[in-house]
Amino acid sequence: MGMVKMHTHFNYVHIPAPDQPNGRTLLLLHGTGGNEKDMLPLGRQLDPNAALLSPRGTVLEDGMARFFRRLSEGVFDEEDIRFRAFEMVEFVESAIKTYSLDAENIAAVGYSNGANIAVATMLLHPKVLSAAVLFRPTVPLVPEPLPDLSGIPIFVAAGSSDQLVSADETNRLIDMLSSSGADVSVNWNPGTHALSKEDVVAAKDWLDQH
C-alpha cells in the first residue's frame, strides 16, 4: 500500500483504499500532528476487512498537520472549518470514483482534530458519511438549522479525565447530534485525551454491530 502524491482531482496526500468495492470503507482522520499513516493500525484493528482511506490534514500549525485551523486551544476558525469540510467532501467523492468504493458505506474514524472534521462534515454535508467513530471529539461548529442525520449511527468515545475536552462539551456534542436525528452511542471511560485500549475495544464491538 503506497502513498499517492497530490494531483489534480485529489486535494490530500493520502493512503489509498485497497480494492474492496463491495465492503465498508473507513475514512481515517488523524489528530493534530499526525499523518496519513498514523491511523492505519487502528483502522485494521477496528475492521480487518474494510478498505482504509487515510488522508493527511492540509493545514499546518507550527509544522503539525491538522484538518482545519484554530485560533487558540479550543477556539476554532469556523470559516476555515466550512471550507475544509467541503474539501473533505470533494476528496471522498473523488476517492469513491477512483477506487470504486461503495458510496453508501463510508464510515469516518476520527481522533481529536480528525473526529472534529468528521463531525463538521456530517453537520454540513449530511449525505456523505454513512457512520462515524469519534474518539475525543468536541463541537467544531453549530450550524443553523441542524441537519437531518436520521438513521446515521455514531459512536463517541470520551474520557472522563480528558484535559482538552470537558464532559460538558462532550455532552453538548452528543445532544446536538442526537437532536439532528443521529443514533448516538457513547462510551465513557476514566481516560485522558489519549486513546486507550478500552476505546478501541468498545469501538470495534460497536462497529461489529453496525
What does R_g of the chain's alpha carbons equal in angstroms? 16
Give 61-79 pLDDT, tens digit per residue: 888 899 888 776 667 888 9
State the pLDDT at residue 99: 87
- pLDDT value at 9 more than 90: no
Using alpha carbons, select from 27, 107, 106, 114 the residue that is nearest to residue 68: 114
SS3 label, residue 133: strand
- At 6, the pLDDT band (50, 70, 90 cuts) reads very low
Give 82-115 pLDDT, tens digit per residue: 999 999 999 999 999 888 899 999 999 999 999 9
Using alpha carbons, select from 118, 128, 63 the residue that is nearest to residue 90: 128
How open is the CA angle 200-101-148, to the nearest 5 degrees?
Answer: 70
Using alpha carbons, select from 27, 29, 23 the residue that is nearest to residue 49: 23
Give 24-39 pLDDT, tens digit per residue: 999 999 999 999 999 9
Give 156-170 pLDDT, tens digit per residue: 999 999 999 999 999
Do you find a cis peptide bond into 143, omega within 30 degrees of 0?
no
The residue count of the chain comes to 210
Residue with cell 476505546: 199
SS3 label, residue 107: strand
State the pLDDT at residue 207: 95
Contact, 1 vs 44, CB < 8 A?
Answer: no
What residue ranges do the domains of the chain occupy?
Answer: 14-208
State the pLDDT at residue 8: 38
CATH architecture group of domain 14-208: 3-Layer(aba) Sandwich (3.40)
**Which residues, in sequence order, are CB contacts of 41 under 8 Å at separation 6+?**
none
Give 169-199 pLDDT, tens digit per residue: 999 999 999 999 999 999 999 999 999 999 9
**Mean per-residue pLDDT, 123-133:** 96
State the pLDDT at residue 20: 60
Catalytic residues: 112, 162, 193
**Mean per-residue pLDDT, 2-27:** 63
Euclidean distance between CA atoms 192 and 194, whole angstroms = 5
